[in-house]
Structure 1
Amino acid sequence: MFGRGRGCLAGGMTADTVNTANEKNSTTVLVLGGTGKTGRRVVSRLRRRGNVEVRVGSRSGRPRFDWTEESTWDEVLDGVDAVYVVYAPDLGAPGADEVMGSFARRAVALGVRRLVLLSGRGEEGAARAERAVRTSGAEWTVVRCAWFVQAFSEDFLRDAVVDGTIALPAGEVPEPFVDADDIADVAVAALLDDGHAGRVYELTGPRALTFAEAAAELSEVTGREVRYAPVPEAEYGAMLVEHGLPEVEATFLAELFSTVLDGRNAHLTDGVREALGRPPRDFGEAVRDAAAQGAWDLATVTPGA
């Protein structure tokens, strides 16, 4: 683990910074998206490692961080050694690569040494954003992921599971869903340990399932009937608008899902084993744990992405 003394932060941070070690020998890590599915898992693991100061960057944090306001970047980056980079709304969004390039260059100029980027498989926009990070001058690692298992338990498909119908423009294409806990383990290793710089870890689970097969396993785990309903891209976009999403965003998501679920990402990879020396966790195990924790109980309130 790398680190260097930081005296400028004393007294300047609030609860969003957790001091867990002597400042002289500690590493300061900024976690963007630190309340989301992978971010909060990364924060939890970093806090347990020791010799790490964890800073959470968000619009509600202190100091505040907003991707759309470059004026918020410097303060949250001050004194940081490594950053877990999660971009919202999506790396595939128009202009995301330009924002990512500006952020990465600014981070390096302010002394950040490592950037660990959460990316998506099969997205042209995400690939451009990856290149922006790789050319920034930082020690970089790309964590390129399949669909999260937690999309069904903590994200936009959670309500669909509760309602009993998962509608997506995916056809019968299999997807090798990856567990967010595996993603967090890889990210923390890349943030703190040597040997991961310059690597692209493409993460999947150990098997690929169609959404119909995933729905069947969810039915068994939850004890309620869950079915998969394939819908055309345009119909899916219209459904998102009906649920309150702005038309531009709905169109983007419908196009993105249709693209990444066209079969290009159906193959398995060994990224978890490459990074951690162990196999990835299976879909079935992850959803059983989620059910045991009440993920689909009607009263459960789940965190954001």
Structure 2
Amino acid sequence: MNGPLIAVTGAAGAVGGRVAARLARVGVPVRLLGRDPSRLPTLPGAVSAPPAPYGDGEAMRRALDGAHTLFLVSAHESPDRVREHITAVDAAVAAGVERIVYVSFLGAAPDATFTFARDHWHTEAHLRTVDVRHTFLRDGWYLAGLPAMTGADGALRGPGGDGRISAVAHEDIADAASAVLLDEGTGHDGATYDLTGPEAFTLAEAAEELSRRTGRTIRYVPETREEAYASRAHYGAQDWEVAGWVTSYEAIAAGELAVVSDAVPALTGHPAKSLATYLRENPDSYRHLLPGP
């Protein structure tokens, strides 16, 4: 195995799992972290750490002992997420980790419309105060989320107005993250990369592309804030979670998620996937929308 040890959090998830697989593929020493080690993937040369919830500082410190770099995927949304992130960062510093690459969110700011993007800004702010090299990867909405959030009735609903979104593929995020992690120079220190798709499109245009792929009419149904809360009430989610869902669309309407960056091609050497390309390569993502027999 070559190079310093890289610890990958969220290794059972869509981003962390892809990054861990890429690192293992090139022979880099990898330690996989997760709340439930039984869910972690089996990868050549990778080892799994004992359970390490972000909010358990001592468990995180033990899991990160000896690691040089930490790939920190954000925790599941919760009212305590910022505290959990800070605990994980402080544990990494205490364990001697020299570098943290953090998966943030596009437009992270203390006053971001999308409430969860505020959590990311506060995490970034803490990382800037501690003695550790750091890089921020601010990805936007996932391309996979567009078909996933379209109902079986063929409606994509939300208060997104006519705003545009530069959604990005998980694969492109993983490729970009791996490129940063594998570059041990200091060129990425203090950098913030916006990881986006190659274009910004409206939700109505996304519905049109889904229509082309599925062979049925998919429509975007704009909602008011009140309609958005009402249409999501049946999920029985807590208020803070529903607020996150609704404000993610309102951030689109506000123009906060329309930025298009060249970071993916610059870091990876290949173009970022468009929505049309993503759907063509991932037919399972919209299988629930296909016409019945």
| TM surpasses 0.5 | yes
- 1:51-62 aligned at under 5 Å gives the runs 51-61=28-38
Match of 2:201, SS state, is coil
Decide which of 163, 179, 191 is 2:181's aligned counterpart.
191
**Amino acid aligned to 1:128:** H
TM-fit CA distance, 1:60: 4.7
Decide which of 89, 102, 105 is 2:87's aligned counterpart.
102
- 1:1-305 aligned at under 5 Å gives the runs 21=1, 25-61=2-38, 63-90=50-77, 96-124=81-109, 125=118, 126-153=120-147, 156-157=148-149, 160-193=150-183, 194=185, 195-291=187-283, 294-298=284-288
**Amino acid aligned to 2:173:** I
Query: Structure 1's 259 and 152: CA in aligned 2 closer, same or farther, altered over 3 A?
Result: closer
TM-fit CA distance, 1:262: 1.4
Match of 1:228, SS state, is strand
Report if the CA contact (8 A) 1:161-1:296 is conserved: no
Cα distance in 2 for partners of 1:66, 1:112 equals: 17
Cα distance in 2 for partners of 1:247, 1:263 equals: 24
Q: TM-score, normalised by structure 1?
A: 0.79
Aligned length: 268
**Amino acid aligned to 1:289:** E
Cα distance in 2 for partners of 1:70, 1:234 equals: 40
TM-fit CA distance, 1:143: 0.5
Report if the CA contact (8 A) 2:75-2:85 is conserved: no
Cα distance in 2 for partners of 1:252, 1:146 equals: 14
TM-fit CA distance, 1:98: 4.1
Which deviates further from its counterpart, 178-187 or 51-60?
Answer: 51-60
Q: TM-score, normalised by structure 2?
A: 0.82
TM-fit CA distance, 1:260: 5.0
Match of 1:147, SS state, is coil
Query: Structure 1's 261 and 68: CA in aligned 2 closer, same or farther, altered over 3 A?
Result: farther
TM-fit CA distance, 1:43: 1.6
Cα distance in 2 for partners of 1:224, 1:255 equals: 29
How large is the Cα RMSD of the aligned pairs? 2.3
Query: Structure 1's 264 and 58: CA in aligned 2 closer, same or farther, altered over 3 A?
Result: same
Query: Structure 1's 51 and 71: CA in aligned 2 closer, same or farther, altered over 3 A?
Result: closer
Report if the CA contact (8 A) 1:122-1:260 is conserved: no
Gaps of 5+ in 1: 1-20, 300-305
**Amino acid aligned to 2:100:** L
Cα distance in 2 for partners of 1:122, 1:213 equals: 22
Which deviates further from its counterpart, 281-290 or 49-58?
Answer: 49-58
Cα distance in 2 for partners of 1:33, 1:70 equals: 16
Query: Structure 1's 106 and 54: CA in aligned 2 closer, same or farther, altered over 3 A?
Result: closer
TM-fit CA distance, 1:162: 4.0
Cα distance in 1 for partners of 2:179, 2:251 equals: 30
Q: Deviations over 1:239-265 (max 9, x none)?
A: 333123223321243234423541122
Q: Deviations over 1:133-155 (max 9, x none)?
A: 233222211101121112135xx
Gaps of 5+ in 2: 39-48, 110-117
